[in-house]
Chain A
Amino acid sequence: MTKEKFTEEVADMLGVAQNELKKQVTLESFERWDSLSMLSMLNLYDEMELDIEVEDVESCKTIGDLFSLASFH
């Protein structure tokens, strides 16, 4: 999956425009960052065949952290 496609998926999941996904923005600042969004991220990483676990996603604090898990910097 390309970084562009990943960005699109994350923006869609959070219900925001792609340009709102700045690295330093905290996940808690998004209204739709909840347990379903975490599950959706797990599913996305799974589709990308990445070995990401629950604890990895739960420890993410920023948009940058989500991208880092997918090795996008």
Chain B
Amino acid sequence: MLEEHLEMVLKWRNSNHIRQYAVSREIITLQTHTKWFNTLKEKGDLYFIIEVNKKPIGLIWANNFQKDSCETGMYIYNTQMQNSLFAYRASLTLNKYLFQTKKLNSIVCEILNDNSRSIRFTLSLGYKITEKKEILSTYLLTQTAFMPYYDKISRLLNKNKLD
């Protein structure tokens, strides 16, 4: 994610269909958003625009890096792409990078309990629920759990395609 994406990402983040399932649902100002963006490099947080045919469709991120873990999240803003398989491609790519290049042992994400699609998607990647709270639950993915899911899903997605 670059500075040129700031306004677009702010518009995405403040849209009703994205805010509905965000952990924090308040409307964010451009000032707050810009301040947040300026802290990313220092904190080592990673935010990527997901593009399909060079058109931005969503955002995926890894943040709150600890010694051997981090948190991740994603949303697909483009409603026509929300049921496509690009979410899998983006998640598999990021998770593989986090485990194999960043050498993390685990990845965590938080999902609202009423976001059933996201929960189904997350569990299908090998995450397990570790903490269930009233509104929000925490899901954990270990490297050991991840690799078999990665191998299976990426084989299905890349059938007949060159690597």
Contact = CB atoms under 8 A, between A and B. Distances in A.
**What bracket does the count of chain B residues touching chain A fall in?**
10 to 19
B117 A51 contact: no
B155 to A, nearest CB: 8
Contacts of B124: 36, 39
B121 A54 contact: no
B20 to A, nearest CB: 16
Contacts of A8: none
A28 B80 CA distance: 11
A63 interface: no
Contacts of B88: 35, 39
Interface residues of A, number: 17
**B contact patch SS:** helix
B83 A46 contact: no
**A contact patch SS:** helix
B117 A34 contact: yes
Interface string A34-59: 11101100110010000111100110
A15 to B, nearest CB: 10
Interface of A: 28, 32-36, 38-39, 42-43, 46, 51-54, 57-58
Smallest CB-CB A-B distances: 10 pairs: A42-B156, A36-B124, A36-B120, A34-B83, A34-B117, A35-B87, A54-B85, A38-B85, A35-B85, A53-B159
Interface of B: 82-85, 87-88, 117, 120-121, 124, 152-153, 156-157, 159-161
